[in-house]
Structure 1
């Protein structure tokens, strides 16, 4: 099984433009993410896929591998689908460019899903973290996921789901981490499908899979790190890096 990691990296992020080129402990966020992914030693290859000459040059000038997107894309999955279409790979791990705290243990768990899936019943897998903080549960920048009893995703939302009408019921809240593992065929399917209303409304690409009937296996991790979506996140990341 050939497994590679692709890191989609868009320069003009809506909430925090240029965030991937911000300094984090003496190196840029995107370079930190690339180096952390390579350091896991889990992959046959690690490649940054970007629409930006600035990011491309940042990676390649530091000895890394990068590819330029040929087309404009609405999401990271589309960007890496274009990049892997003609590559000989079985499983693609999508590590977000704003995840400098990417760790080996969490990525190993995703890879293990496919190694154990002899019948190829899982199209993609992703990570989640148990959250307890009420502010984070209610924060629309924190994407929540609800599960069935087999840890397949039922829905993802920026809203606090499930809604606790009965406060006596013990339910867990999970934060979705934007790290995906795809079979190549599932990723190419995603690339060909048009966006449907749920994805368009929530601006969450993973909903496209659910709307088309695909199943997403969720894997719990205890490593949360910091996803850098805002300037405030960057400040938290700097403190954590120290």
Structure 2
């Protein structure tokens, strides 16, 4: 079974335009992500999927592989699906292009879960470190059933703790798909919950497709870069590690 990694990367981030090519300790952010992916033992190939020639040229310049996509994709899954359709593979891992410190073992764990679970999609979660982190709507929460399948994803804190102290789980934004599910996903109509929460994975749930959620064995992901502040923090952390 062949598994590939695809990194969707676009120029037009509203909070940090040009984010993939932002300098992070002497390399563009996208190069750090790409090099972390190459360390994953499960991936036969790593491809950056982009709609911007500046990103394409930068990836090629550091020796990576990139492919151009249409510019009108509504989300990362759609962009990943375009490239995956042109590649011979069985499974696809969608890796966020703004996670330069992603542990490659996370990719390997997700690939293993995806292959053995038999569901069309898989993803990972970790316990929240604090109530303040859980309250942040930028941190997506997930609840699962007794078999580890997602019941719901939300930007609100779920579940409501009327009794007891349930563990609130943080969704890690990395997805795995069976390749044959990606064209199915693209045909699914938009759904009200996915639009309300602005969470693309809810479209699959609302149409009745299962998403298996495993607890990550490697919770330390460094900093996800969404804002100029995040970029400065990533520079600080990476400099300290060096």
TM-score band by shorter chain is over 0.9
Match of 1:188 in 2: 183
In the alignment, structure 1 segments of 5+ residues that lack a partner are none
Residue 193 of structure 1, CA deviation = 1.5
User: TM (normalized to structure 2)?
Assistant: 0.93
Residue 236 (structure 1) aligned to one of 225, 233, 237: 233
SS in 2 for 1:81: helix
Task: Calculate the aligned-residue CA RMSD, in Å.
Answer: 1.4
SS in 1 for 2:139: coil
Match of 2:151 in 1: 154
Residue 31 of structure 1, CA deviation = 1.1
Q: Contact between 1:4 and 1:92, CA under 8 Å: does it hold in 2?
A: yes
Matches within 5 A, 1:35-114: 35-114=35-114
For residues 132 and 206 of structure 1, what CA distance do their matches in structure 2 show? 23
Match of 1:134 in 2: 131
SS in 2 for 1:176: strand
Distance 1:86 1:20, change over 3 A: closer
1:170 correspondence with 2:162? no
Relative to structure 2, which stretch is displaced further, 214-223 or 230-239?
Answer: 230-239
After superposition, what is the alpha-carbon deviation per residue over 1:130-175, rounded to whole angstroms, capped at 9, x for unaligned?
1031221111111111111222111111111112233xx1211111
How many residue pairs match? The answer is 237
Q: Contact between 1:129 and 1:224, CA under 8 Å: does it hold in 2?
A: no
User: TM (normalized to structure 1)?
Assistant: 0.93
Residue 24 of structure 1, CA deviation = 1.2
Residue 199 of structure 1, CA deviation = 1.1
For residues 131 and 207 of structure 2, what CA distance do their matches in structure 1 show? 32
For residues 67 and 177 of structure 2, what CA distance do their matches in structure 1 show? 19
